Structure 1
C-alpha cells in the first residue's frame, strides 16, 4: 500500500470518527486535519483525547474562518504537551524487544524531534532499527566503562561493573561467570573488552560450566 492509499484510508477513518459529532462539517474538518503529517494522523487515531482536541480546534478555526493550514500549527503545538503519553507508548514498544535497556533506550529515542518520535509508534521497522542502534551504543558505553575501571586498577569497582554487564547477558549465572572472567590474565581480559567480545566470553564460560546457553532465555 503506497502513501496515497494510506492517507486515503486514514481520511476515511477520520471522517467516520468526526461525522458522529460534526455531521454538517465532517468533510471540511477531515480535510483540515489531513494537512497534518502522516505520523501525526496515526497518533490522532490512536489517542482519542488528542483527536477530540484536534477536532475541536479545527472546528473553532473553521467557525472563525481561519485558514485551514493554520490548524497544522495548532495541533503540532499540542504534541509538545503530550510527551508523557508518547514516552509511555514508546516504552511499551521498546520493552517488547527485551533488551534489558528499555528505559535508557526510550530516553535516547525521546531526545529526537517530536514528529520523529511519533513516526516510531507507527513504523515497526524504523523503531527496530533505532532500538538496535541505541542498544549498540549502550553496549559500547558499558564496555568503555569497564575498560576505564580496569585502567584505574580498582579490582572491586571493576568486579562490580563486570558483574552488572554480565548480568544483562545472563542473569541466572552472573556470579559464576564473573568469577571465571576475573580469573583471566589482566591483559587478556582488557583485550577481550576492547574487542567487544564480552558476550562471546559469557557463552564460553557457560560452556565451561556445562550450562546450556539457552537456559536463561
Structure 2
C-alpha cells in the first residue's frame, strides 16, 4: 500500500515537472517513466540533466513505429540500448546501496543474461536481493570493502575527470577546467551517464556555464 502511495506521489511530481515543457504528451511521458524503479525516479526529480535524458528517450520511443501488437513503450526503448548503457544504469542503482563495492557488484550482475539485467533495472526488490547476494559472495572471497572504495574510487574519479575534460573542452575550451571541476561535484552515479549521453552532458555544461556567469564579477571599464 505504501509503495503504491509513493508511486502515485512520484507520478504527480513528475507530471508537474513534465507538463510545462510537454503539455500534449505529459500524461504518456509520465506513465512511461513510471515503469522505472522508484529510486531512479526520485533521483530524476533532483537531477534535471538525468530527467532530460530520460524524457528524450521516452519521446524517441513515442515517435518510433509501433510493432504489430500495437505496443510502443519506454521499456522497449530501454531494451534496445547497448550493454554499456545497461551497465551504466545498473551501476547507478547498485551505487545507491552504498556497499563500497558498487563496481565489483555491478560487474558480477552484468554476467547474467540481458533479460535478467532488465528485470533488475525494473524490480528494486529483486535488485536488492541480488546486491546482498553478491556482497555476501565478495565477503566470502575476502574482498576488503575499504580497499575497493578507497583505492579505486580515487582512480575512477581521476579517470572520469580526464574523460570529461576532453569532452567539455570541445564545447567550451575557455572554461573547460572550471566546468569539469563543477561536473565532478555531481553524484558518482551521474558522472558515467555524462560520458555516454551527449544530451545529458550538454545540459550539465549549460548549467555550469550559467553558474559561472553569475559568479563572474562585472566588467569595469577604467
TM norm structure 2: 0.43
Structure with greater contact order relative to length (CA < 8 Å, sep ≥ 6)? 2
When Rg is computed on C-alpha atoms for both structures, the one with the higher figure is 1
